[in-house]
C-alpha cells in the first residue's frame, strides 16, 4: 500500500510540474503562461494563493506537506493553496486548492490582500484568503500527510522549532497584521 502512495505522489508531481501556470512580473502584470517546472527553474515569478482555514473556534488548520512536493517537502504549512493556473483568477485558484487539498468546497472565501514573496527558488505574487468551516477535512494524499487545528499564535511559536513553509508563514503574518490594523 505504501508503494502505491509513493507511485501516486510521483505521478502527481510529474503532472504538477507540467501544469501551465500564470507567469507575471514583479508588479503582478500577466506576461503569459509557462509550465510550473520551467517557471521555477528559470527563477521567474508566478501567482500563488494561500487559504487560511479556520474552524468556528478560531483555530487554524495546519498541515504537513508530502515528501514529494517540489518546494518545501515535508514542511508544515499554515495555508492550503498553490499556484494559479493559466487562465485562472486568484479567487478561482483559492477555491480549487481548498477543495483539492482539504476537501472543503462550500466555505466562503474572503480575500485578505496580496504581497510579493521573493526567494531564489520561490518567487510569487501571493493572494491571501481566509475561510471558516467545521466540515470534516478530506486530505489529498498526494499533497497532505496530516492536519490539525491550533491557534495562529501556537503555529507561529511552533514554527521557531519545526520546519514551516516561509511563504505561508508570511501569508499568516500578513493576515494577522491586517486584522490588527482593523
What is the rounded average pLDDT of the residues 101-122?
95
d(CA 64, CA 143): 9
Q: DSSP states of 103-166 as a string?
A: ---SPPPEEEEEEEEEETTEEEEEEEEEEE--SPP---TTTEEEEEEE-HHHHHHHTTTS-B-H
63, burial (CB in 10 Å: exposed 0-12, middle 13-18, buried 19+)? buried
Q: Which pLDDT score, from 0 to 100, does residue 120 have?
A: 86
**Does 9 have pLDDT greater than 80?**
no
**Does 6 have pLDDT greater than 80?**
no
The pTM of this model reads 0.92
Amino acid at each position: 500500500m505504501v508503494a502505491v502512495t509513493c507511485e501516486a505522489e510521483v505521478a502527481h508531481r510529474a503532472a504538477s510540474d507540467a501544469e501551465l501556470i500564470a507567469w507575471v512580473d514583479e508588479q503582478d502584470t500577466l506576461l503569459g503562461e509557462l509550465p510550473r517546472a520551467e517557471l521555477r527553474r528559470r527563477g521567474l515569478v508566478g501567482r500563488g494563493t494561500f487559504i487560511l482555514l479556520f474552524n468556528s473556534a478560531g483555530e487554524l488548520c495546519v498541515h504537513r506537506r508530502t515528501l514529494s512536493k517540489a518546494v518545501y517537502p515535508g514542511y508544515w504549512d499554515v495555508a492550503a493553496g498553490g499556484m494559479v493556473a493559466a487562465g485562472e483568477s486568484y479567487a478561482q485558484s483559492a477555491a480549487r486548492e481548498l477543495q483539492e487539498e482539504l476537501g472543503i468546497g462550500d466555505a466562503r472565501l474572503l480575500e485578505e490582500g496580496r504581497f510579493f514573496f521573493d526567494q531564489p527558488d520561490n518567487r510569487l505574487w501571493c493572494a491571501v484568503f481566509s475561510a471558516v468551516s467545521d466540515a470534516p477535512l478530506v486530505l489529498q494524499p498526494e499533497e497532505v500527510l496530516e492536519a490539525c487545528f491550533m491557534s495562529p499564535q501556537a503555529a507561529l511559536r511552533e514554527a521557531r522549532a519545526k520546519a514551516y513553509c516561509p511563504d505561508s508563514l508570511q501569508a499568516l503574518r500578513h493576515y494577522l497584521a491586517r486584522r490588527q490594523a482593523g
